Amino acid sequence: GAVVSQHPSWVICKSGTSVKIECRSLDFQATTMFWYRQFPKQSLMLMATSNEGSKATYEQGVEKDKFLINHASLTLSTLTVTSAHPEDSSFYICSASRTGYRSTEAFFGQGTRLTVV
């Protein structure tokens, strides 16, 4: 149990285009999902907290108009990188906490490698 699926696993896009990344909890409901960004050989940096049915809470320094987050159901959250630029190239990872369980026990997706050319 507690499987989180992230799609796509990698994507290459042209500068100026938008990219959508999906995060699904396959066998549990997730009231809260988190989006992280990870640079090579570095730790995970929290970008935003996504709560089902409400607006996401962004960390300081993260542009909410650039990184659009939608959490429309208890099993799906999406991150859209709008007007992507090369500096947005990174590894993006989502995590989900199981509703009704110890919510701090977060499970991660496989990650999405975004390359903007």
Partner 1 sequence: GQQLNQSPQSMFIQEGEDVSMNCTSSSIFNTWLWYKQDPGEGPVLLIALYKAGELTSNGRLTAQFGITRKDSFLNISASIPSDVGIYFCAGNSGGSNYKLTFGKGTLLTVNP
Binding region for partner 1 (CB under 8 A): 4, 6, 32, 34, 41-44, 46, 49, 91, 93, 95, 97, 102-111, 113
CB of 32 to partner 1, least distance (A): 6
CB of 10 to partner 1, least distance (A): 9
Q: Which is nearer to partner 1, 39 or 72 (CB)?
A: 39
Q: Collect all residues with Cβ–Cβ distance below 8 Å to 92 and sequence separation of at least 6.
A: 21, 35, 36, 37, 38, 79, 81, 111, 112, 114
SS3 of 87, please? helix
CB of 108 to partner 1, least distance (A): 4
Q: Which is nearer to partner 1, 42 or 83 (CB)?
A: 42
CB of 73 to partner 1, least distance (A): 18
